[in-house]
């Protein structure tokens, strides 16, 4: 197998991943579930300062990406 063939497949995969992430940024507010505003996400508001850490959103996205990547890279 040509080493450039593997590199090409990886570039295509990461290009598609970037497109999907971009689409989530553009159309994320129109999703039926509030991505980034799930119960368990940490929001601290004090005066004119807001700290936001999407803890549960990160866990959910990590699980989804793990499942998707395991399906793609299964041998």
Residue 75 binned pLDDT confidence (cut-offs 50, 70, 90): low
Can you tell me whether residue 49 is helix, strand or coil? Answer: strand
pTM: 0.57
User: What pLDDT, on a 0 to 100 scale, did the predictor assign at position 31?
Assistant: 73
Can you tell me whether residue 41 is helix, strand or coil? Answer: coil
Average pLDDT, the chain: 84
User: What pLDDT, on a 0 to 100 scale, did the predictor assign at position 57?
Assistant: 85
Q: Where are the domains of the chain?
A: 1-31, 33-75
Per DSSP, 45 falls in state E
User: What pLDDT, on a 0 to 100 scale, did the predictor assign at position 48?
Assistant: 94
User: What pLDDT, on a 0 to 100 scale, did the predictor assign at position 49?
Assistant: 94
pLDDT in tens, 19-48: 988 887 788 777 776 767 788 889 899 999
């Amino acid at each position: 197998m040509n080493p450039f063939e593997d590199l090409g497949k990886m570039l295509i995969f990461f290009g598609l991943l970037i497109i999907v992430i971009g689409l989530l940024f553009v159309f994320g507010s129109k999703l039926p579930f509030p991505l980034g505003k799930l119960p368990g996400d940490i929001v601290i508001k004090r005066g004119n300062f807001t700290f936001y850490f999407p803890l549960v959103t990160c866990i959910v996205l990590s699980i989804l990406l793990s499942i998707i990547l395991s399906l793609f890279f299964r041998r």
